[in-house]
Amino acid sequence: MAIADAVRALEGKFKILAKTEFRGETTLTIEREAIHDLALFCRDDLGFTYLVDVSSVDYFGEEPRFEMVYELVQFEKNEHLRVKFRVSEDDLTVPTVSDVWPTADWHEREVFDMMGIRFNGHPDLRRILMWEGYPYYPLRKDFPLAGRPSDVPGVAFTKAAPLEGGPFVTVPSTATTKDREPRARPLS
């Protein structure tokens, strides 16, 4: 089934809030509640048997703040479909699709670990990169790159890493790259 037919089928069955085409890629924006049914429909009726990725975006300062992004592929015609929807910070829960595509299990754990979005119905929603007890969600826009101090005794600790004055920090100025890069400066 070509992608145009797939989109038509989806439009007839689900509420599509927006549809964009960019360089041959189709993106559908849907409602959060529809994602599980839409996932089942895409897999069983439209042939999107492969979930490439589940990711999330933090539009800090906007409302709703977060956005979930699902990348689907069907092998039959080599078609690609992107499905997105927004999630509000006040209700950070999303229906899981890990029962539709098992690969979503770890992807959703990563989204939970890095953004703090919870997945209803997920079989094993633990942190996947950071450790149990780490108190922050590090990919959120209000989390500093340098990190924040934390401590889980016996497991791990973190310290804030200073971002200025280090040996690998380029100095902002109009000088040439050679003069701005750290090794060009005399060590004080």
Partner 1 sequence: MPAEAPVAYDSKIEGNVIITRIDAAMNWMRKNSLWPMPMGLACCAIELMATGASRFDIARFGAEVMRFSPRQSDVMIVAGTVTYKMALAVKRIWDQMCEPKWCIAMGACASTGGMYRSYAVLQGIDQLIPVDVYISGCPPRPEALLEGLMRLQRKIDTEPALHDQKKQFFAELRA
Q: How far is the CB of 56 from partner 1 (least distance, A)?
A: 17
Contact present, 2 and 79 (Cβ < 8 Å): yes
Q: Does 158 bind partner 1 (CB under 8 A)?
A: yes
Q: Output DSSP code: residue 52.
A: E
Q: Does 184 bind partner 1 (CB under 8 A)?
A: no
Q: Does 2 bind partner 1 (CB under 8 A)?
A: no
In the chain, alpha helices (H):
3-13, 35-44, 104-115, 177-180
Q: Does 162 bind partner 1 (CB under 8 A)?
A: yes
| Cβ neighbours of residue 12 closer than 8 Å, sequence gap 6 or more | none
Q: Does 169 bind partner 1 (CB under 8 A)?
A: yes
Residue 26's closest CA among 36, 34, 18? 18
Q: Does 138 bind partner 1 (CB under 8 A)?
A: yes
CB closer to partner 1 out of 8 and 159: 159
CB closer to partner 1 out of 32 and 140: 140
Give the three-class secondary structure for 68.
strand
CB closer to partner 1 out of 23 and 183: 183
Contact present, 84 and 110 (Cβ < 8 Å): no
Q: How far is the CB of 7 from partner 1 (least distance, A)?
A: 39
Contact set with partner 1 (CB under 8 A): 129-131, 136, 138, 143-148, 154-159, 161-163, 166-169
